[in-house]
Homo-oligomer: A and B are copies of this chain.
Amino acid sequence: MIDPLESQLGYQLRRASAVMMSELGTVMAAIGLRPTEATILILINANPGCTQSNLSRQLAIKRANMVPLMAGLMRRGLVARERMDGRSHALTLTQAGEALLAEVQVLVNAHEARFLAHVAPDRIEALEAALKAIRNAV
């Protein structure tokens, strides 16, 4: 089959991203997390005391969509929150959350390494720079 999409950057980006996301989904399912939930744990750990709105802006997830995500993480005892100023809450990882984050980091690092192994080392810097440029193009 002739495929003109092979030479389209946007399409190739979409397919490459889908491959990595799907694989990450499988990997994360082993510890009961979805990729998005894992990114939330990573961000709270790096920014203890941050709010849901902070996360939502950083991850480009609408505030409304953060609600069920956070509820799930709190229900599972991975994240705790404490009232800050009446309308916002400071988020932190619980001990269980920190323990799970350690597993997340191992899995994510292995996942990244697995894919980067297929990219020529002298192209990795260009790949990362190009992705940032595309993200900031708008």
Across the interface, do B115 and A12 meet the contact criterion of CB distance under 8 Å?
no
Stretch at the interface among A68-76, A81-89, A127-135: A127-135
Partner pick for A130 among B14, B108, B112, B119, CB 8 A cutoff? B119
Q: How far is the CB of A20 from chain B (nearest CB, A)?
A: 4
Which residues of A1-52 are within 8 A (CB) of B?
1-5, 8-21, 23-24, 39, 42-43, 46-47, 50
Across the interface, do A13 and B131 meet the contact criterion of CB distance under 8 Å?
yes
List the 8 closest pairs (A to B, CB-CB), nearest first: A126-B126, A17-B17, A123-B126, A16-B134, A127-B130, A118-B133, A12-B131, A118-B137
CA A54 to CA B24, docked complex, whole Å:
27
